Amino acid sequence: MARLVLACILGGIIGYERESMHRPAGFRTHILVCVGSALVMITSEFIFKRYQGLTNIDPARLGAQVISGIGFLGAGTIIREGFSVKGLTTAASLWAVSCVGIAAGIGFYEGAIAATLIIYITLIVLKRLEDNFSRTSKPKNICILSSNVPGYIGEYSAVLKKLKISVKNIEFTNIPEENSVLIKFHIIMPKGFKKELIMDELQKLNSVQRVFEE
């Protein structure tokens, strides 16, 4: 009972942080993963002691299945939006919490508590440091409605290069009835750079009909 309660508390600590960030897997999910992992290890220990000497049993076998099997739950928290992938940290926290539960379930209290503190510090403190040291903003989509004339991509790319904007991908959608094309640039701007400046520079080009952000 002490191990299950400890797993509930430790999983709840990590889950509370994820819940406060409005992530797909939050408070209850992390508690369930941690308690479930702890129960698996308690069951493994129980089976090992009960059948010790009667048959060969690996007490780590069930725990190994938790570590590999938690991936399906983590994959459910990962969302891709264009070139932006969200949920990787939450997926990693679920996997780490399952390992905390395994440690608590087998009675390795020091490891479980220490790992929880490290995970919590990573999610809270290092996130702030990461934001402070990051020199680029998140990817953005700049859309250009352009006349379908030769060389327009070279013009637009030259403007973005002059502004030191990194282009990750370009998508095209032809509009034959208007003899136009919709170009979507997936870009990464330097941190603090105003997207309005990009849009103003592009709007000056003769082939550009309209510039907007998606």
pLDDT at site 160? 84
Statement: the pTM of the whole predicted model exceeds 0.85: no
The pLDDT of residue 102 is 93
Q: What is the pLDDT of residue 112?
A: 93
Hey, what amino acid is at 188? I
pLDDT of the residue at 157: 82
- Tokens 């352009």, located at residue: 146
Pick the CATH number of 140-213 from 3.40.50.300, 3.10.620.30, 3.20.20.70, 3.30.70.260: 3.30.70.260
Neighbours of 33 (CB within 10 A): 27
Between CA 137 and CA 177 the distance in angstroms is: 36
Q: What pLDDT sits at residue 80?
A: 57
Element of type H or E holding 123: helix 109-133
**Whole-angstrom distance, CA of residue 112 vs CA of residue 105:** 9
Residue 182's nearest CA partner among 214, 159, 160 is 214
Return the pLDDT at 132. 60
Domain boundaries along the sequence of the chain = 2-133, 140-213
The stretches in the chain having pLDDT less than 50 are 82-83
Nearest alpha carbon to residue 97 among 27, 180, 199, 1: 27
pLDDT score recorded for residue 83: 47
Q: What is the pLDDT of residues 118-144, one digit of tens each?
A: 999 888 887 777 656 555 556 678 888
